[in-house]
Amino acid sequence: MQPLTELGDEALLDAVAASGGQPFQGRQVLHWLWRHGAEDFAQMANVPQRLRTALAARFVVRGSTLASASLASDGTEKLLLRLGDGETVECVLIPEGERTTLCISTQVGCPVRCVFCASGMDGVRRNLTTGEIVEQVLVARRRLPPGRRLTNLVVMGMGEPMLNLDALLPALQRIHDPAGIDMGARRITVSTSGYPRQMERFAAADPAYNLAVSLHAADDVLRRRLVPTAGHSVAEIVAAAHRYFGRKGREVTYEVVLLEGMNDRPEDAVALVETLGGLPCTVNLIPWNPVDELAAGGQLRRPAAVRVDAFAAALRRGGLKVTVRRQRGADQAAACGQLRRRELMAPPTGDRGSPTA
Ligand code: SF4
C-alpha cells in the first residue's frame, strides 16, 4: 500500500475527500503526518474513526520502519531504517551543545564509489523516494529527548544527492514548509561530489539551501584516484559552485576527507589554496573515519592530529577559512554506510534487532 508520505498536499486532500472526509479533515491528517509525526492512523485522535478506517484500507502512514539504533558514547545516534522493499538506509543524529544535526541519505548505496567510503563499496541499488527521504527526518525527530529539537539537516549520508533531485527537491520543500516540518532553508545543507549540470538545477530551485562540495583534492589526477567516477574536472566543479554562490548568495563549503600521505601533503594544501584562494568559501577538513574493510589494505590511513593541524595551518596561511570536523560516534560505526554494511554482512537470524523508537 502507498505511504501517505509519498503524497503531495493536493493528492492527500483528494485521497481524504475520496475516502468521505471533509477538506478540514484533510488538513488535520496533514497536520498529524508532518507536525506530530504520527506513525499510524490510530494516533490521529481528532480524525473520525470511519475516515481513518477508509484511509487505512488504501494507505499506510509511512513506508519505512526503524530497524536498529546505535548510540555512541558522545551522544551521536546512528539509525538504520528498513524501507518498504526490505532495503536499508542510514541516518545519523548528532547532538552538539544546543544544536542537533541530522544527516540523511538520498540513495540506497552510492554510485560515486569514493575509495574511502563504505556506502560506495557495493555501488548503488536505487534512488530513495521523496517519502523515504522525509521519513528519515520524521523517524529521527521522534528519537529526541523532550526539550531538544532538530536544528540542522545535512544531506550527506548515503548516495549522491544531485543524482536524485527529482525526489530530493520535493522532500526538501516538505522539510522546509512552515506548514510541514518547518526547518529554515539556512539550516539545510546539501552535499555533492560535483555534478555541474545538476548543481545548476539545484540553484534554480527555491528556497536557497546551503551547498557543500566534496572536493577532497584540487589536483584532477589525485581527485580521480579518490573519486574514481568523477566525470568533471575540479575547475568545472568549482566554477559551478561559484555560480551557485552568485545566484543564491550562500557561501559554499568545500569538504576534504583527509587521508594520510594521499591528500594531506604540503603540496595538496598549496593546490587547494591556488584553486580556492579568493573565493567566498570555507574548507571543512574531515580526518578519515576508518572503515575496517577499506583500512585493511593499509593504503588508507587516518592522519594524526599533528598532520591535520599542519594542513589546516597551511590553508589558513593561504587565506582560506578552515574548519576541522572532530570525529563523532567513533564507537558506533561512525563512517557513512558502515551500519548498513554490517547489517548486510550479518548472518540471517530470526530477530533482526529490536527498534526502540
Ligand atoms: S563519500 Fe558520499 S559520494 Fe562518495 S561514495 Fe560515499 S556516499 Fe557516495
C-alpha torsion 237→105→166→249, nearest 10: -50
User: Is 72 in the same domain as 182?
Assistant: yes
Whether residue 25 is found in the same domain as residue 89: no
Say if residue 13 is in the same domain as residue 146. Answer: no
Q: What is the pLDDT of residues 159-194, one digit of tens each?
A: 999 999 999 999 999 999 998 899 999 999 999 999
Q: Is residue 269 part of a domain?
A: yes
Instruction: Determine the Cα–Cα distance for residues 248 and 169; give it in Å rounded to an integer.
Output: 16
Q: Which of 119, 214, 300 to mutate to test the pocket of ligand 1 (most atoms within 8 A of CB)?
A: 119
Q: Check pocket membership of 119 for ligand 1, CB cut-off 6 A.
A: yes
Q: Which residues are catalytic?
A: 90, 336
pLDDT tens for 231-279 read 999 999 999 999 999 999 999 999 999 999 999 999 999 999 999 999 9
Give this prediction's pTM. Answer: 0.92
Could you identify the atom of ligand 1 that is nearest to the CA of residue 160?
3
What is the structure's pLDDT at 344? 57
Among the listed ranges 18-32, 272-286, 340-354, which one has the minimum average pLDDT value? 340-354
Portion of the chain with pLDDT greater than 70, in percent: 92
Span 13-36, mean pLDDT? 97
Do 51 and 152 fall within a single domain? no
Same domain for 43 and 88: no
pLDDT at 327: 72
Please indicate, yes or no, if residue 108 is contained in any of the structural domains.
Answer: yes
The arithmetic mean of pLDDT across residues 112-138, rounded, is 94
Q: What is the pLDDT of residue 216?
A: 97
**Domains held by the chain: number:** 2
CATH of the domain at 204: 3.20.20.70
DSSP string, 108-138: EE-SS--TT-STTTT-EEEEPPHHHHHHHHH
Give residue 187's domain range: 65-345
Of 14, 38, 60, the last residue of a domain is: 60
Question: What number does the ligand 1 atom closest to the CA of 113 have?
Answer: 5
Evaluate: CB of 157 within 6 angstroms of ligand 1: no
Report pLDDT digits (tens) over 83-107: 999 999 999 999 999 999 999 999 9
Tell me: do 49 and 167 sit in the same domain: no
86: left (phi over 0), alpha (psi -120 to 50) or beta: left
179 found inside a domain: yes
19 & 107 share domain: no
Among 19, 41, 60, give the residue marking a domain's end: 60
The pLDDT tens digits for 303-318 are 999 999 999 999 999 9
DSSP per position, 48-100: -HHHHHHHHTTEES-S-EEEEEEE-TTS-EEEEEE-TTS-EEEEEEEEETTEE
Domain endpoint, select from 60, 78, 99 = 60
- Ligand 1 contact via 70 beta carbon (within 6 Å): no
Residue-averaged pLDDT of the chain: 91
Report the candidate in 222, 217, 221 with the shortest Cα–Cα distance to residue 238.
217
The answer to whether 83 and 98 have CB atoms below 8 angstroms apart is no
The answer, yes or no, to whether residue 195 has pLDDT greater than 60, is yes
Residue located via cell numbers 479533515:
25
Residue 355 maps to a domain: no
Task: State the pLDDT at residue 292.
Answer: 80
User: Given a cut of 90, is residue 294 above it in pLDDT?
Assistant: no
How far apart are the CA of 23 and the centre of ligand 1, in A? 43
Question: What integer pLDDT is reported at residue 357 of this predicted model?
Answer: 26
Weakest mean pLDDT among 10-14, 142-146, 179-183, 348-352 = 348-352
The percent of residues in the chain predicted with pLDDT above 90, rounded, is 84
